[in-house]
Structure 1
Amino acid sequence: KASWYVIHTFSGQEARAKQSLLERAKQFSREGALEEIVIPEEDVVEVVKGQRRTSKRKFLPGYLLVKMQLDDELWHIVKNTAKISGFVGSGSQPTPIPEEDVRRMLGQTQTSKPKPMVSFEEGETVRVIHGPFTNFSGTVGEVKPEKEQVQVLVAVFGRATPVWLSYEHVEKV
């Protein structure tokens, strides 16, 4: 019966490691033993130049989740694959992870709405690009990632006025 295993890859090389593993398993006619190979990713929303953009971000960088029927031969195939540094687990006996844990992890990435990618920090200078304060510059006073809002301290008549704005209404200076 196939089980899920976590495989450690070189960071940033997850897609290449997945491809290398598939090719190597095919060389040994063992591709049938690899049921599923997943690069754990989630969707994140970034605001670039006032435009919302959804992109993928790995939430387990440097790891692959692989469902396979592990035996000695397959263990050696995985261990000797380019871009893979080995299994997560103790010694030569990798520990399978429960199916429910993997499904919960993967389900969480597919059912949740894209997360905002917070790129604003308190004290940072930003420019308002939309709304009544367009072209005003100010300092970020507070960030609320759950609401995708920033509080900007805008100088109005020589006095700092706090204004809550959506991420897409401001840009970094």
Structure 2
Amino acid sequence: MKKLLLLLLPLSLVLTSCDKKVDPVAYNDSLVKYSEDAEKRLEDLDTKIDAFFDSEEFSAEESAKLVEDMKVVKDSIQGDLDKIKTMPKPTDADEFHNVTIAYVESLIAQVNIYSEQYSKLSNDMSEEELMKMDDVVNKSLEDTQNKLDAMIKAQTAFAKANNMQLTTDFSGSK
């Protein structure tokens, strides 16, 4: 029994010390899927916001529904972010991983900006107040776009380092 234990101990050390390799292609696909899912949720919210503004009547009932939609979207995007943060990473994926996290966090920040700004809406708002609100939202959108650009750049570098070819099919996957 002791001989068996002494034989199994070094073998178990060797097996547990082996680094489990994460497939770079599968990692890329999963990371892109989660970030695209989060982005799609925000796009769907944007559609609801557009419809809200098109009505030009900012009733308390409609405002409350929009606020609830924002909460649901924010929670869903947070779920995507949590999945991204816990994904095992392949070698050389730190930059791609970190900027993807920053991008998805910017989507959450975007929802927060929407919530802050649109909670101020009333039928009595002046054109100037609406323009200020629009400026804050647009600055946030610009930040999100910059984070997306950084993510694409990091993904390209990750793909190159792993001899992967990135292609975009128009169904939304890479």
What's the TM-score, normalizing by structure 2?
0.25
What's the TM-score, normalizing by structure 1?
0.25
